[in-house]
Every structure is written in structure tokens, then in C-alpha cells.
Amino acid sequence: MKSINIILLTATILISSCSSSPKPDGTCAMMSYGKCVLIWQDGEKIPFEGVDVRYDGLKMLWGNGFGGTVKVHN
């Protein structure tokens, strides 16, 4: 049973992006809403400046709370 848990944990880590190795410079590292927000540069993930993410104001949350949001603009 313990070996099955180790195998499942290893498979999960390998499939997830945590284990992704550096890619060639300029390759998209993470996408959100169909836009690339992180790219690989010199073996590190850095923010992609071609994405316009702006503060979208406060929104009333379910219940009695409020929260700030951002929006990806085209």
C-alpha cells in the first residue's frame, strides 16, 4: 500500500507543472484566460509584458464580503 502511494505521488508531481524543466527562451510557461502570462527567460519564469492585467474594482462577494478583482484586457 505504501509503494502505491509513493508511485501516485511521484506521478502527480511529474504530471504537474512543478516539475517542468526550463524551456527555450520565449516559450509560454503559464496561460490564463487564453493569454500567456509567464514566459521562460534564462531558465526562469518571468511575467510576460504583452498581457494587460488591470484592477477591475471591488465586487460584492457571495454573502457580506467584498473583494478586489483583476481583468485580462485584450
Closest CA to 45 of 20, 70, 14, 73: 20
**Within a domain: residue 15?**
no
Q: What is the pLDDT of residue 73?
A: 62
Number of domains the chain contains: 1
- Between CA 59 and CA 65 the distance in angstroms is 9
**Within a domain: residue 11?**
no
**Within a domain: residue 52?**
yes
**Within a domain: residue 5?**
no
Does this model's pTM top 0.85? My answer is: no
**Within a domain: residue 67?**
yes
Q: Which residues are paired to 54 by β-bridges?
A: 71
Identify the domain containing residue 53 by its residue range. Answer: 22-73
If one compares 43 and 73, the residue with the highest pLDDT of the two is: 43
pLDDT at 28 over 80: yes
**Within a domain: residue 61?**
yes
Q: What is the pLDDT of residue 51?
A: 62
**Within a domain: residue 1?**
no
pLDDT at 62 over 60: yes
Is 53 in contact with 71 (CB distance < 8 Å)? yes
Residue the block writes with cell 514566459: 39
pLDDT at 36 over 70: yes
